[in-house]
């Protein structure tokens, strides 16, 4: 019988980069970005506590099967506009959001903490981004 690799193996962790969620040149949160297809597939599955939001790009749809906690899911379009905010309970299968090009998975209180609403414009910045001070 074949042994299943851990969901959060070293190869998955290596496929995640770090950055920041920014609105109006204000950093709202540190984020992780799933860089590989496998990292996007795994997402936050198996996580007990969502301490760092996870950006899935490209992505228009997520599910919460295998999740241990509920999530807030922010669907963001190509221009950085938040097109939908959804609280996703465990073991749910919502409809895809056609207008979205990426999804940010966060704890359920995050949109309220960040004061984010549908229509707000956000951006994602990374350490190699020239706009980030060295």
pTM: 0.82
Query: Taking the alpha carbons of 97, 83, 102, 32 in that order, is the dihedral positive or negative?
Result: negative
Provide φ and ψ at 82, rounded to 5°.
-75, 115
pLDDT of residue 128: 67
pLDDT of residue 1: 32
- Where do the domains of the chain lie? 16-123
CATH class for the region spanning 16-123: mainly beta
Is 82:93 a contact under the CB 8 Å cutoff? no
pLDDT of residue 40: 87
For every one of its 134 residues, what pLDDT tens digit does the chain have, with 9 covering 90 and above?
333 333 444 444 446 689 999 999 999 999 999 988 888 888 888 788 888 999 999 999 999 998 899 999 999 999 999 999 999 999 999 999 999 999 999 999 999 999 999 999 999 998 765 455 44
Of 130, 101, 116, the residue nearest 21 (C-alpha):
116
CB neighbourhood size of 17 (10 A): 15
Kindly give, in sequence order, each residue whose CB lies less than 8 Å from that of residue 71, ignoring residues fewer than 6 positions away. Answer: 44, 50, 64, 87, 88, 105, 106, 107, 108
């Amino acid at each position: 019988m074949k042994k299943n690799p851990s969901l959060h193996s070293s190869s998955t962790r290596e496929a995640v980069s770090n950055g920041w969620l920014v609105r109006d040149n204000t950093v709202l949160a540190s984020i992780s970005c799933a860089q590989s297809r496998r990292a996007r597939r795994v997402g936050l599955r198996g996580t007990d506590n969502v301490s760092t939001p996870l950006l899935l790009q490209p992505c228009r749809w997520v599910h919460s099967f295998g999740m241990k906690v509920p999530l807030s899911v922010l669907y963001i379009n190509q221009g950085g506009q938040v097109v939908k905010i959804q609280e996703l309970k465990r073991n749910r299968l919502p409809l895809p959001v056609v207008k979205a090009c990426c999804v940010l998975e966060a704890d359920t209180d995050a949109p309220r903490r960040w004061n984010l609403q549908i229509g707000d414009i956000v951006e994602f910045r990374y350490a190699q981004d020239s706009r980030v001070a060295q």
